[in-house]
Amino acid sequence: MISILLLLFTIIIITCIYFLFQRHNKVTINDATELLYLFERNKVLPIDPTNKWSLIEVRNTLRVWSRTLTPGRDYSLLKIQASFAILNDSLNVVCNIIRDSKTQKNWNSMIPMNSKIRVIPLQAIENFGNFQKRSNISIETSNFNKENVTLERKKYRSKDGIVGFAGNWINNFLLDVDVERSWLQQNENVFWLLEHPKNFEWWIFYLVTTIDDQKDKCILNVITNESYAKPTHLLAIIFGKSQMWINHPSDLIMGFRDFIENEKSTNSLAFSQFLNSISENQQINFATDAHGSLGKSDGNFPKRKNPDDLKNSDISFFQKLKNMIEEKKDEVEQTTAKLRRSFSNSDSSDLKGDGEISLNPIEIIKRISLTGILFDDKKNETEVHADLNDAMPIKKTTDGKKGWRDISDAISKIADEKKISKNAAHRTNKDQISEIDEADRDLIQCLDTMIDNAALDVIAENGKIANLNIKSSLDDQAIQSGGWVYCGLEKDTVILKKSSDLTIPLHSYISRGMISCPPKMIYELLISPTSRLTYDDAIKDVEVIKEFDCGIKIVRLLYEIGQNFKRELHEFVVLQGERMEGMKHIITLQSVDWDYLSSKASSANKTGDANFSTNASSCGVSYCGGGSENLNGSRKNSTSRSTETSDALKMKLPRQKQQLQQRQQNPKKQIIDDAIRAKMFSSGWIIEPVMKTDKLCSMVTYICQMQLGAGMRQGQTYMSEEVAVKQPLCIVHLRNYIAKTAAKDDASNKMTDNKRNNSVTLSLSNALARFKNGSVDRVDEEEEEEEEVEEEKDFGREVLV
């Protein structure tokens, strides 16, 4: 009887062991869609204790979390582990590194070598749903990319047999494994990548998401199953099972973080070495044929020479532009006629050509109202730099020359004395807003929100080019940097361009160069709107329409392009603001419908509308303002403006009427009715401190996004192009202006103390002080140019007669 019971007990135990073994060895996941289905059903995100995650250890200064998933009735429990960390890099930089399988050997310690990469074409996978991560972030799994990677390992045989595996047995005995990688990048906020062998014995899931208020930072989440290598799996190692290839999630994150930090320092050094290795006479002049988009852009990048094949060129940038215009003049006329028909058939703000235009999400976000102009208000520039010579005593550095730090300190001293310096973040302080008149408070809050959005857009665009490899093909560059491609090198300034598929081309440029001047000095120069006359070669007039006490400015910019006895005027009304992101100074520029916002503020003040800030903000950043501009982009006569708006503004600002009369008496200040209303999307300057040979310098980045296509109504598209083409060269002109000013300062230091007290030093600081009166060094040059134009016109009339 006892033997029978023992036999039955043994059979039951064997049966249980058999079923448990079969259940444990059943492959529960077959492809990426099933794994993502599993994540969706179990709500694995976010990774925190409130979502059934339990903290098991702290490894590599990172928390390691564990959780058990239930795939379904017919599947066993699946244990997973996860870690996450915040990286000081944009999402595009992180996802490009993770997506590149060749770089894994640099940050994944379990993969010493990658080779034989075979990419499977894009597959359309049926969309099976979304799952949520944090608030308002959904991860789509449709149409994701796939590739197959063969990872090779060196075979290892020990003379001592299995004993030799102790120590480095994991890295030396594993066999080759075929790994399938699937990934998808959704918009600008979410990127995921799944890496696994064909039998899904192990898998690694990477998820990168952006942080709401910080576009230059992201969160890297790594989720794996518990099949990473353990000494107990010695038999599996001998048979070369692929489950040994997986690494711990915290180890992956730490290796990736160290690698990306080294890459940033290496890229910064490589940028300086790249500029130093090429002399100025060997640099490619700005490649006009590589970035000009006359007429409608077809979305294809033009061919250009590789940066490695740098050759001498004696043709100047402007000569190239003229040659291009002559060669493509017939093409421009044909394209202009075609586009004019497209403009006349367009009945909405989403301008369409012959076919439907799919707008880029970034371009949709950056849509701002059509520009307006308010000429009833004219305030003088802030007197930050007044009496600079009295506040700045003559100092000498150790080498006997006046340093930039002296000028910077003096400017800071004056700003403190006059109490107009901003807070640490250069944001509109709530205390300042509370002290402002109630009529302007809602308007300032609206403008401050627009500046925040523009600053985030500028930081995001700057982060996209951090991982750009200019030696790769144009298509690869566009994929790596969100559409930006290398365009040329002009006098130690790297210039990038983004292609546009809109009917009215959006001219987007990024120029970056180093200037031997502290960031504070450059910031004080750029923050003054009238200083643009010194470094913008195409600008004709700058006017500060409105300046608030908190530092926000409404500025009118007038550009003039003339050729062949014709001229074309482009008019911008932009909102200027400043922000501080870490050690970076950020100055933002974007078009604003000032007529609408100011009238909205006046009406809201009378009716007591508490929702003005929200309503005006949404209207200010939308693609609206049809009352100020027709489809061709020409500005209507100023007399057609609403009298109610003008009267309300005059009541709020009593000095405007007198200033308006003064401006009407001055021909240079009159509003030119044939000026073309143009739009400036989120643009601006980023100034970063850089140490070069023990000297504080600045890395200056200028991002410019303009839409000037309205000029094609006159058949002068190439003239409109010249306005945008000259913008990336602002850094070159700014560097030259600062260098000339520094040379004048050095020459002035050689004067005696008596002569110095009786002389006027034409320094950069004095030039800044002169901007408030509008007297700049370019006045004489402009008068000479006007005389030359008049002589050419007289000569042309004689030829025609």
Q: Encode pLDDT of 445-457 as tens digits.
A: 778 888 888 888 8
- Pick from 56, 53, 83, 55: nearest CA to 68: 53
Pick the most confident of 473-477, 755-759, 770-774.
473-477
Tokens in use for 624?
């609206």
Beta bridge mates, 220: 85, 208
Q: Looking at residues 142-163, what average pLDDT do you find?
A: 43
| pLDDT reading at 372 higher than 50 | no
| pLDDT reading at 197 higher than 50 | yes
pLDDT band at 276 (very low <50, low <70, confident <90, very high): low
- CA–CA separation, 686 vs 706, rounded Å? 18
pLDDT band at 239 (very low <50, low <70, confident <90, very high): very low
Compute the Cα dihedral for 377, 653, 445, 420 and give only its sign: positive
Q: What is the pLDDT of residue 238?
A: 42
Pick the most confident of 122-131, 198-207, 384-393, 541-550.
541-550
- The contacts of residue 541 (CB under 8 Å, 6+ apart) are 556, 557, 558, 668
| pLDDT reading at 762 higher than 50 | no
| pLDDT reading at 18 higher than 50 | yes
64 φ/ψ angles, rounded to the nearest 5 degrees: -110, 125
Helix (H, G, I), strand (E, B) or coil at 571: strand
Pick the most confident of 175-184, 403-412, 717-726, 748-757.
175-184
Tokens in use for 610?
């508490």
Q: What is the pLDDT of residue 665?
A: 55
Q: Where are the domains of the chain?
A: 28-267, 311-800
Tally of CA atoms within 13 A in the half-sphere of 673 that contains its CB: 6
Helix (H, G, I), strand (E, B) or coil at 236: helix
Domains 28-267 and 311-800 share a fold: yes
pLDDT band at 701 (very low <50, low <70, confident <90, very high): very high
Calculate the average pLDDT of the chain.
61
| pLDDT reading at 652 higher than 50 | no
Q: Looking at residues 462-491, what average pLDDT do you find?
A: 80
Tokens in use for 330?
């017939």
| pLDDT reading at 564 higher than 50 | yes
- The contacts of residue 20 (CB under 8 Å, 6+ apart) are none
Q: What is the pLDDT of residue 789?
A: 53
Looking only at the bridges linking them, the beta strands covering 190-197 and 204-211 are antiparallel
Helix (H, G, I), strand (E, B) or coil at 42: helix
Q: What is the pLDDT of residue 380?
A: 32
- CA–CA separation, 537 vs 557, rounded Å? 13
Between these two residues, 423 and 78, which has the higher pLDDT value? Answer: 78
Between these two residues, 268 and 615, which has the higher pLDDT value? Answer: 268
Pick the most confident of 248-262, 303-317, 591-605.
248-262
- The contacts of residue 666 (CB under 8 Å, 6+ apart) are none
Quote the percentage of the chain above a pLDDT of 70.
43
Comparing 40-44, 276-280, 375-379, the range with the smallest average pLDDT is 375-379
Task: Calculate ∠ Cα 522-524-528, nearest 5°.
Answer: 115
135 φ/ψ angles, rounded to the nearest 5 degrees: -90, 130
Q: Which of 2.40.37.10, 3.40.640.10, 3.30.530.20, 3.40.50.720 is the CATH number of 28-267? A: 3.30.530.20
Pick the most confident of 18-27, 130-139, 163-172, 530-539.
530-539
| pLDDT reading at 460 higher than 70 | yes
Between these two residues, 474 and 70, which has the higher pLDDT value? Answer: 474
- CA–CA separation, 343 vs 350, rounded Å? 11
Helix (H, G, I), strand (E, B) or coil at 789: helix
- CA–CA separation, 579 vs 451, rounded Å? 8
CA 680 → CA 416, 457, 557, 612, distances in Å? 33, 13, 11, 24
| pLDDT reading at 711 higher than 50 | no
| pLDDT reading at 30 higher than 70 | no
Q: Calculate the CA dihedral of residues 128, 132, 138, 140 and round it to 10 degrees.
A: -30
pLDDT band at 484 (very low <50, low <70, confident <90, very high): confident
The maximal CA–CA distance of the chain, rounded, in angstroms, is 132
pLDDT band at 72 (very low <50, low <70, confident <90, very high): low
pLDDT band at 630 (very low <50, low <70, confident <90, very high): very low
368 φ/ψ angles, rounded to the nearest 5 degrees: -125, 165
Q: What is the pLDDT of residue 92?
A: 80
Helix (H, G, I), strand (E, B) or coil at 546: strand
Contact 510, 496 (CB under 8 A): yes
| pLDDT reading at 341 higher than 80 | no
707 φ/ψ angles, rounded to the nearest 5 degrees: -125, 110
- CA–CA separation, 577 vs 556, rounded Å? 14
pLDDT band at 483 (very low <50, low <70, confident <90, very high): confident
CA 544 → CA 76, 411, 530, 685, distances in Å? 70, 21, 8, 19
pLDDT band at 686 (very low <50, low <70, confident <90, very high): very high
Q: Looking at residues 56-60, what average pLDDT do you find?
A: 81
CA 174 → CA 101, 244, 339, 409, distances in Å? 19, 7, 62, 63
Looking only at the bridges linking them, the beta strands covering 566-581 and 676-677 are parallel
Q: What is the pLDDT of residue 268?
A: 59
Q: Looking at residues 420-448, what average pLDDT do you find?
A: 54
Q: What is the pLDDT of residue 27?
A: 43
- CA–CA separation, 58 vs 584, rounded Å? 34
Count Cβ atoms within 10 A of the Cβ of residue 784 and give its class: 0-12 exposed, 13-18 middle, 19 or more buried: exposed
- CA–CA separation, 108 vs 117, rounded Å? 17
Tally of CA atoms within 13 A in the half-sphere of 452 that contains its CB: 13
Q: What is the pLDDT of residue 412?
A: 41
Q: What is the pLDDT of residue 61?
A: 80
Tokens in use for 127?
């969309």
653 φ/ψ angles, rounded to the nearest 5 degrees: -125, 95
Q: Looking at residues 318-339, what average pLDDT do you find?
A: 54
CA 788 → CA 258, 317, 318, 781, 785, distances in Å? 60, 21, 18, 11, 5
DSSP state of 616: H
Q: Looking at residues 469-478, what average pLDDT do you find?
A: 80
pLDDT band at 785 (very low <50, low <70, confident <90, very high): low
Q: Encode pLDDT of 303-319 as tens digits.
A: 334 444 433 334 444 45
Look up the CATH number of domain 311-800. 3.30.530.20
Pick the most confident of 178-192, 308-322, 676-690.
676-690
b/e per residue, 159-174, with b = 16+ CB within 10 A?
A: eeeeeebeeebbbbbb
| pLDDT reading at 494 higher than 50 | yes
